[in-house]
Structure 1
């Protein structure tokens, strides 16, 4: 009797394993907390929440910040540039252990879903739009047309998509929003002769490289620099150079893999899923009559694509977030329903069916958030930060910057939010640069590079939700990405050493 081949666990299983490990850490890692300072916009005062939970009010003056050792301009708090609680240096205290038991572990995914309901609704509405487009034949017709247009120069798909997404990442932190693009672009890449991993890499790594080498992103560069007490233009030149070179390295890596796949499809890391993925994403369109690319179908795709341009404008200049983005695509879904010619009942059925296809993706987002909740409630995040800050004092400059990179890789696993990690860690870590004679912009770069690197693979980030969109298992992604991660890690370390030298 033949043995049944064991497959790699699903995204949910991987997340629950990490969730349980995080809960175990709350029994092992000493609980502790920094005092946190926050600006009260209503009362125009600073509130300081101490580790014991007591809250003090302090006058909103620059002298208050100077007294607390927070080298940030008062204006950054008053204009909302820094809105999250900021850790106050030198205030770490051990507190009573708050281990997260089995009940907490069971409740955490539910709370995680509540906490990310804005992202989940966005995913559902996008799924509904895609369901209507699929039913209309617009995708089949568009894919066939694009395949003909790129025949012989398919590598341009990789170059164009990676560069565009990297530009979005470096300017306004394009990340979660890319989830909507996978069902649209995976069929395009597959029709061009690539596998789904090529599409994932172009989108996910474009976003990751862009946010890792962020230049003017308000969610990392700007808020990180503000929290460090410097302007975001300090270190900007080095990060811009890093962005260009890292994007080129990434594109070359993806293109080389893509060439190998086109030459011999059996070399694909997901070759065993080829038929399954073609049936799902290409809808067997190669074996059936391709719908005519009519004006109405072109208009539907144009409206859907145009919605992303509107979304980018809204996020980058109008302070939109998921509520506004979701409302935008809900409106687009209704317009697509009218243009498709479907009756009311069929439109609703196709929209709901499209949303249902992404239920697993939405739930992965919620469960990933549960891991962060366990660590926050277990009061171990600040303890990890305190231990990390103490480990680098008095080091040689070159060793210091490399160790800082490693520290931010670790912290990025536990705190995947770029803005959250910035306001928590920068007031603590930035002064350490003063002690070893380095400019603080080096710490900001180390923070961006470290968190960016771990984002390539961390289950607490977006990667598992991304893989769930395409039914690719985590182990296949690791096999693909680890060599590139190594190249980018070495490159990041070299860039930090150069920045520290100047």
Structure 2
């Protein structure tokens, strides 16, 4: 049970609004630039990517971040991460058309009707696995547009927005974070370690399957709890306008217009996946696909140009906060880079690592990555900063390179499910209309369970001297 303060509020209930929380972290990062000594590693550019050179850390002149710099870091952060901000807008506009025309409502209503409300727990399980698979093979931000579907399904079967987030955000986060084929973490790690690309996938596949299966039962357990007593629902008093079904399940059928719009949507996803896997598409191209799907579906629904524009405009309103949160989250990394303390933090964590017994060191390695992930969110960026340092240290203390990469993957990936500085997470929560404090209250126990299982897997990997197989 969570600790209560004198007024009866739990610690999590005392967490401030996400915008305030992130701004506090920005201020804290700025204060750290006055306390932590400045330092940096030398970098080298390999295949267009800059990565740290082990053993080159040295102190540099302090460059503490001033009062005005804190505020300029926010627009700089927006500029640096503008592509993620826009994909949130593009996804919102695309789903705005689907909501206005009732296509999304009719599709979900018909889906639930065909499967049957008696199988609502099966639906939760299936959808959690589906989003997990999407996380593994499609990515993280790439799936932002699909998150609201889970919320609509959850509400249709008697759940709430938090259950929808558990299926979608939980599934995507676990799938992407522990994916055996993640190009941004495992791929870069294997490249730095000079190992066969995506080797060791069977061990990683087993771990991600276990974590997703536990998430399935965790989501179902919460669902049963709120069906029994709505007072336990964390989604209480959250506005679900436009997400709820407006009539009984038995009355739903798909119109020809709905089928045409669904085909356009599926075709858009097909084009997106083709581009991602064969053309190297990323966020900008995916945003373009979402915009095209939204416009084409507006035309299919016989909306006028003005109606499409007005729908786009209205759909942007709920996503504005998510966009702001993304920019402020990025400002944290901007402040730390300006103060030259990111490398100092990494250097000191590594220094501690070298003094620990091997089995404890591998666990501490993942904890280190989790802490660093708060300040340097984003798998590829963190990998290029920390892995060139962590891998040689692991060699010296008896941790195989495969285990070192797994420790990084666990620390970075599993933390993503709760990290408030991760723009993609805040964007998804915004689209689900789930406040960060309620999400943390829901998902934190699962995260603790996940870490315990992952640490056990890490220790096992060291004991068996897990190599490139």
Q: TM-score, normalised by structure 2?
A: 0.91
The alpha carbon displacement at 1:290 in A equals: 6.9
d(CA) in 2 for partners of 1:366, 1:196: 24
The alpha carbon displacement at 1:89 in A equals: 0.8
1:95 counterpart = 2:95: no
The alpha carbon displacement at 1:91 in A equals: 0.5
Q: What is the match of residue 86 of structure 1?
A: 51
Q: What is the match of residue 432 of structure 2?
A: 470
Q: What is the match of residue 447 of structure 1?
A: 408
The alpha carbon displacement at 1:469 in A equals: 2.1
Partner secondary structure for residue 234 of structure 2 = coil
Q: Is the 8 A contact 2:325 2:426 kept in 1?
A: yes
After superposition, the C-alpha distances for 1:81-100 in whole angstroms (9 at most, x for unaligned) are: xx321100110011111111
The alpha carbon displacement at 1:374 in A equals: 1.1
After superposition, the C-alpha distances for 1:462-494 in whole angstroms (9 at most, x for unaligned) are: 333322223322221121112111111110110
Map 1:126-275 to 2 at 5 A.
Answer: 126-150=91-115, 151-172=117-138, 174-273=139-238
Q: What is the match of residue 50 of structure 1?
A: none
The alpha carbon displacement at 1:7 in A equals: 7.8
Map 1:16-95 to 2 at 5 A.
Answer: 16-39=23-46, 77=47, 83-95=48-60
d(CA) in 2 for partners of 1:307, 1:182: 16
Q: Is the 8 A contact 1:92 1:386 kept in 2?
A: yes
After superposition, the C-alpha distances for 1:38-67 in whole angstroms (9 at most, x for unaligned) are: 14xxxxxxxxxxxxxxxxxxxxxxxxxxxx
Q: TM-score, normalised by structure 1?
A: 0.85
d(CA) in 1 for partners of 2:421, 2:145: 19
Q: 1:233 to 1:466 in 2, by over 3 A?
A: closer
Q: Give the alignment's Cα RMSD to 1 decimal.
A: 2.2
Q: Is the 8 A contact 1:235 1:445 kept in 2?
A: no
Q: 1:439 to 1:289 in 2, by over 3 A?
A: closer
From 399, 403, 406, the equivalent of 1:438 is 399
Q: What is the match of residue 467 of structure 2?
A: none
Map 1:388-399 to 2 at 5 A.
Answer: 388-399=349-360
1:11 counterpart = 2:18: yes
After superposition, the C-alpha distances for 1:187-240 in whole angstroms (9 at most, x for unaligned) are: 221111111111111111112211222211211111111112322344333212
Q: Is the 8 A contact 1:413 1:451 kept in 2?
A: no
Q: What is the match of residue 80 of structure 2?
A: 115
Map 1:353-392 to 2 at 5 A.
Answer: 353-392=314-353
After superposition, the C-alpha distances for 1:167-193 in whole angstroms (9 at most, x for unaligned) are: 233335x11123212333312211111
d(CA) in 2 for partners of 1:139, 1:7: 36
After superposition, the C-alpha distances for 1:303-351 in whole angstroms (9 at most, x for unaligned) are: 2233223323322332001221112122212211111111222222112
Partner secondary structure for residue 459 of structure 1 = coil
Partner secondary structure for residue 385 of structure 2 = helix
d(CA) in 2 for partners of 1:113, 1:248: 36
Partner secondary structure for residue 327 of structure 2 = helix
Higher Cα Rg, which structure: 1
The alpha carbon displacement at 1:144 in A equals: 2.2
d(CA) in 1 for partners of 2:198, 2:79: 37
Q: Is the 8 A contact 1:171 1:215 kept in 2?
A: no
**Alignment size in residue pairs:** 452
Unaligned runs of 5+ in 2: 1-6, 465-469
1:341 counterpart = 2:302: yes
Q: What is the match of residue 322 of structure 1?
A: 283
